[in-house]
Structure 1
Amino acid sequence: MKRVYLPLLLIVIVVLEGTAMDFLPKEWLTSSFYFIPHWVLVVLVYVAIFYDYDSTYYCVLYGIIFGLLVDIVYTDMLGVYMFTYGLVLYSIHGLKRILHSNWLVTTLLTVVAVVCADVIVYVLYSIIRETDITWYTYVYKMLLPTLVANVVFALLLLPLLPRKLNDWAESHLEKSTSV
């Protein structure tokens, strides 16, 4: 039963990601800054750090699946978030191998993941001419506010999620090796 908890959590996060803008004050929404919630990516970074072992790649698998779900639900272009989340989470999983898992490294890897994912999405949309925003405008009005908002979300999850993910990983390992 505990194997179902993580996908259910990610489904709830996908739904909440769509309503994230409703929680912000109206003044922020009418400003010229744009916040893009990458909550699924943030949770999957936690999965990469606290759930996956060096030989398992659940974060990449869930990144591809839920990236496609984000594409289907929230964008007009299929495959952009699927590709981006898979690539970024594979890189984060590799970086996790050489760094210790503590709150500072978790925050740093979250920053790297959000920046890389957002820049890759911007570049892909620029290549296919879905956006015509200049680089300076993108960094100042979209990337920095997006980074701040997602790091705040990651810091809010920090006291709750790592311990739960460790418990789920241990029970998942016990179940798979007990047969």
Structure 2
Amino acid sequence: MKRYVIALFCLILLVLQGMAMSWLPANLIYSDLLITPHWVLGFLIILAIFFDRDDTYFAVWLGLWFGLLIDVVYTGVLGVYMVTYTVVIYVVHGLNKWLHSNFFGSSVLAILGVALADTCLYVIYSFVQITSMTWGDYGLMRLLPTLAANMIFFVILYPIVKERISLWSEELMNT
């Protein structure tokens, strides 16, 4: 049952992620900055850190399925988010062994995960010629604002879900 609740929460985040840009001030939306919300990815990073164990990959599978949903709903190229989210969550799952599962370690993994995902998306979109932004412009006008916005979301989300996810993980281990 807990896994269905987690998947439902991911679905809710997917919908809210699509509406996130409409909540920002107009002067920020119409500026040169490009902010991409990766709220589902942020939650999946928390899930990979606190829910999955060394031999479980629930967050990776959710990254695969919700990446595909993001591709179907929000993008015109199928498979880009699906592959990117799956690989990023797998990398975070592996790196989690080297960092403590506290706020600082989770924040480092979130920054690395969002930066890796957004950079991979930029490289793929550049390769298929959907974007023609230079690396310098990408770094200043998209990557840094995206990292800042997603870290604000991560800082808000972390204390809300961390304890519940850790508790659910322990309950599943004991059954």
TM-score by length of 2: 0.97
Query: Counterpart in 1 of 2:137?
Result: 137
**Contact 1:38–1:150 at 8 Å: present in 2 too?**
yes
Paired letter, 1:77: V
1:56 and 1:44 map into 2 onto residues whose CA distance is: 14
Deviation track 1:9-56 (CA, whole Å, cap 9, x = no partner) reads 000000000000111111111111011000010000000001001110
2:81 and 2:174 map into 1 onto residues whose CA distance is: 33
Query: Counterpart in 2 of 1:100?
Result: 100
Alignment of 1:19-168 (within 5 A): 19-168=19-168
Paired letter, 2:173: L
Look up the SS of the partner of 2:97 in the other structure: helix
Give 5+ residue unaligned stretches, structure 2: none
Deviating beyond 6 angstroms after TM superposition, the runs of 4 or more aligned structure 1 residues are none
Alignment of 1:166-177 (within 5 A): 166-175=166-175
Q: Which moved more, 1:157-166 or 1:105-114?
A: 157-166
State the Cα RMSD in Å: 0.9
Paired letter, 1:45: I
Give 5+ residue unaligned stretches, structure 1: none
Q: Taking every aligned residue pair, what percent have the same amino acid on both sides?
A: 43
1:36 and 1:3 map into 2 onto residues whose CA distance is: 27
Size of the aligned set, in residue pairs, is 175
2:28 and 2:11 map into 1 onto residues whose CA distance is: 27
Paired letter, 2:51: Y
TM-score by length of 1: 0.95
Q: How far does residue 105 in structure 1 lie from its aligned partner after superposition? A: 0.5
Paired letter, 1:57: Y
**Contact 1:47–1:59 at 8 Å: present in 2 too?**
yes
2:2 and 2:38 map into 1 onto residues whose CA distance is: 25
Look up the SS of the partner of 2:55 in the other structure: coil
Paired letter, 1:153: F
